[in-house]
Amino acid sequence: MNKIFIIGNLVRDPELRSTQAGVAVCTFTVAVNRRKAGAEAGQPEADFFRVTTWRQMAENCNRFLAKGRKVGVTGTLNLNQYKDSNGLPRYSMEVQADEVEFLSPKDAAEQPKPPAEGFIQVDDQDESLPF
Ranges of each domain in the chain: 4-102
Assign 112 a pLDDT band (cuts: 50, 70, 90): very low
Structurally, at CATH architecture level, domain 4-102 sits in: Beta Barrel (2.40)
pLDDT per position as a tens digit, 1-24:
899 999 999 999 999 999 999 999
121: pLDDT strictly greater than 70:
no
Other Cβ atoms closer than 10 A to 74: 14
Question: CA–CA separation, 86 vs 84, rounded Å?
Answer: 5
pLDDT for 22-50, tens place per residue? 999 999 999 998 877 655 666 678 899 99
- Nearest CA to 31 out of 53, 58, 7, 52 is that of 7
In this prediction, residue 129 carries a pLDDT of 55
